[in-house]
Structure 1
Amino acid sequence: MSSTLPDQLVSLNTIIYLGYDDDKASEIWNKWTAQAPGDPVPELVSVPPFELKFVDFIIDYSHSCHDDLDADSGDDTKWHEVMDRYGINEDTQRALMDPAFRQVRLTETCQYWIRDTIELRYEALKEVREKDQDIERASTSHDMSGGEAGYRSALEVSQDTAMSEVALCSTNAPGTFTLYRGMDKSRLKKLFDRNGNLDNIQRLISQPPTDFCGREAAYYFVADRDIAIQYAFFAKRRSDASSPVVVHAAFQNSAIECLSEVEIQRVYWPSEEWQSLIFLSRKAQRLPTDLRKFKRAALIIGTIAGKPNTCYVNMSSHVDITEEFLFKNTGENEGFGQNAVQYVFRNEEGEELLEKAEIKVYPITTTEFSEWYRNAQGRS
């Protein structure tokens, strides 16, 4: 996508930057200015009993025109058809459909990734504007550190980068094991307090329905760092102004070893129990008696399922979940490796367990992304 940022946050150029072609962007802009007139055009408008944000209007307007149109299969032609109908521009389509991120893309629907990409880009724009304002205020007060906002930002991420020797070595400390999550830094605001202490762990939570939790939110981390890297880099590929990070959660081995058989559950492909749990959780259905042990667990360790929720909703039986639904880690040779494993912290007990981890956030530089991406293109 173009790296040229629009001058105004609320503008026609912003809608184009977020991913729409000229015609669809003009259509959305005209609708917004009719509903939110002013000079400058406001970012927020009152629509009793709610307040409507500019970015939410953009997403909702395009979706309302084609709400029943989506793609969730490996047929790339269908994805392009959906994006064409939504008015998504060619640069954005190329980013979403990049073969280097195909496995990650196919975990969600086309509608999901359109929304996620727009939100990523909008958050990146807001951060750029806020940073500019911080610099302006700091220069006015002769404080070139960037003020309190700059101080908070320095505490939220490590001084070492995600692909640095320090980050890599931190994964192998004696007596510990590390779990990972790749995401955009904008979604971690206030994870730490002003002293650098973990403050709001819920910034890391995932909403249901998910693999093992159909009706409750939970915390998902992967055992393979390369998977977290894929997710972080896919965010960067779709939003070049964004700041992707890799979250490390380092545990003492004893923290897991002391859990009782009730508190920890393990479930893996190809067991029928895993198929049933995935099937019912992704459909947000009530678990039968023989699976309710997973609701009582603080930690579930198991195989990661791919494919969007819509694929499971349309299934008639758990036996329809085949090996092609599994998410794979990156193999040493070309192609994918072994079935990937996730750690899922649930309930208050799981949250307390996660809070015992040493959590560090490692930023990804543009250079690191470029180097990884060149190698990934060679594999895809």
Structure 2
Amino acid sequence: MIPEVLISRETLTHVGLSEAKATELWGEWSNWPTSGIRRETDADDGGLEMTFIDFIISRVTAVNDITDESDLQWRACLNACGIDVQLQDTIMDTHFKYLRLSESCLYWVKDTIKMRYAELEAHIRGSSRQPSVSGRQQNTPGTGSPESWASTSASAASRDIPPGHTVLFRATNQAHIAGLFDEPSDFSGFHGRFYFTPDYQVAEYHAYWAKKRIGQLGTVAIVRLCIPNTARESLSAPDIQKIFWPSPEWKELVWRSRTQRQLPSRLEKYEEAVLVVGTTSRKPHSFYRAIKSWDEVTEKCVLRAGTSVQGHPSVQYVFSGGKKGRDFLVKNGAQNIRVFPYSFIPKALSFMKRGRGFKL
């Protein structure tokens, strides 16, 4: 049953908490102290406010995180968070182990809860429809491996591509389509960026994983951005930079960005560029904080396309979140951006297994 009230006990179980954890948190929320930080439902006194989603996340993730490959330790962490067994099984699905291990346990717990909460909030407020998405998707993810399923959005995304364009993709849940601005990551430790991949296989893998976790109510979409080749080729250094594994610069840039260390002057060009094209990194932030130097970054830190280490290194297009980057995207991408609701159909050979991409 879909909750009718956003701030409710029912919402706690909807976002994936066990009955026991939901009872515990709802009891704490309902018996909030009369002094100090107020709840978002309390009268505004001009002081600090605790939103319901921040309350959930803060209480659920107040446990030791897990970053290694032990399934037993991941289960223990999920249990400590109070995650429902059904959602635990979804997160621990062996078909997504490669992607799951690219981040920590608490990262996926927060990501999943936030997705479910955002979709429920949009549903309750009647604002979940996006003009660029026709109709809501209500199908439930299939069982089995990603290789045994294909997405209807794959064929849709391959149509009406203007010639002479670089085609980029990213997966997102529908409630966050308007917020394609990412937190600091691979190539920038302090400023948000726009991250896209030219490989549909990578976007589909992330979309499938998100749909499995978000549940029936949520809608996952793949955003397709077409940038004119002439616009991309008009960029020259320092506005465009390229950096790939296994160059020492890639290792150092990723390590410094992930640990939010100051960049030396020779690497500042990546921070200042309108567009950086480079290899996508893998592993949680805590992994990079635990190593002493960038020269400890290994091939295991490279995200590969597909579902295992056998895939080719994934490449990303990272646009600056500053004025120049935003202006470039508005001028050269706004007219050719499409959003495709992600859905899947049984098929012997899926789009992912064939590993097709759109390279014009």
Fold in common (TM above 0.5) = yes
Given residue 227 of structure 2, which amino acid in structure 1 is its aligned partner? F
Instruction: Answer yes or no: is 1:343 the counterpart of 2:343.
Output: no
Residue in 1 that maps onto 2:210: 235
Q: TM-score, normalised by structure 2?
A: 0.83
Contact 1:162/1:246 (8 A) holds in 2: no
Question: Counterparts of 1:237 and 1:376 in 2: how far apart (Å)?
Answer: 18
Higher deviation after alignment, 9-18 or 22-31 = 9-18
SS of residue paired to 2:316: strand
Shift of 1:122: 1.6
Higher RCO structure (Cα 8 Å, ≥6 apart): 2
Q: How many residues align?
A: 330
Aligned CA distance change for structure 1 residues 314 and 30 (closer, same or farther; 3 Å): same
Shift of 1:364: 1.7
Question: Counterparts of 1:378 and 1:228 in 2: how far apart (Å)?
Answer: 13
Shift of 1:278: 0.7
Give the alignment's Cα RMSD to 1 decimal: 2.9
Aligned CA distance change for structure 1 residues 373 and 313 (closer, same or farther; 3 Å): farther
Given residue 96 of structure 1, which amino acid in structure 2 is its aligned partner? I
Aligned CA distance change for structure 1 residues 157 and 107 (closer, same or farther; 3 Å): same
Residue in 2 that maps onto 1:221: 196
Written as runs of structure 1 = structure 2, the 5 A alignment for 1:87-102 is 87-102=82-97
Question: Counterparts of 1:89 and 1:376 in 2: how far apart (Å)?
Answer: 32
Residue in 1 that maps onto 2:339: 361
Residue in 1 that maps onto 2:173: 184
Aligned CA distance change for structure 1 residues 57 and 90 (closer, same or farther; 3 Å): same
Q: Give the alignment partner of residue 15 of structure 1, picking from 12, 26, 29.
A: 12
Q: Give the alignment partner of residue 158 of structure 2, picking from 159, 168, 171.
A: 168
Aligned CA distance change for structure 1 residues 307 and 98 (closer, same or farther; 3 Å): same
Question: Counterparts of 1:86 and 1:373 in 2: how far apart (Å)?
Answer: 38
Output one character per residue of 1:241-287: Cα deviation in whole Å (capped at 9) or x when no partner: 11000001101100111111211110000111111111111111111
SS of residue paired to 2:31: helix
Given residue 224 of structure 2, which amino acid in structure 1 is its aligned partner? H
Question: Counterparts of 1:288 and 1:350 in 2: how far apart (Å)?
Answer: 22
SS of residue paired to 1:157: coil
Written as runs of structure 1 = structure 2, the 5 A alignment for 1:90-129 is 90-129=85-124
In proportion to residue count, which structure has more helix?
Answer: 1
Residue in 1 that maps onto 2:60: 62
Aligned CA distance change for structure 1 residues 268 and 378 (closer, same or farther; 3 Å): closer
SS of residue paired to 1:233: helix
Output one character per residue of 1:86-110: Cα deviation in whole Å (capped at 9) or x when no partner: 1111111111111222232222221
Gaps of at least 5 residues in structure 1 are 132-148, 192-202
Instruction: Answer yes or no: is 1:294 the counterpart of 2:270.
Output: yes
Output one character per residue of 1:321-373: Cα deviation in whole Å (capped at 9) or x when no partner: 11111111128xx87421000001113222222222121111123xx1x5389
Question: Counterparts of 1:51 and 1:288 in 2: how far apart (Å)?
Answer: 38
Shift of 1:5: 2.2
Given residue 8 of structure 2, which amino acid in structure 1 is its aligned partner? S
SS of residue paired to 2:196: strand
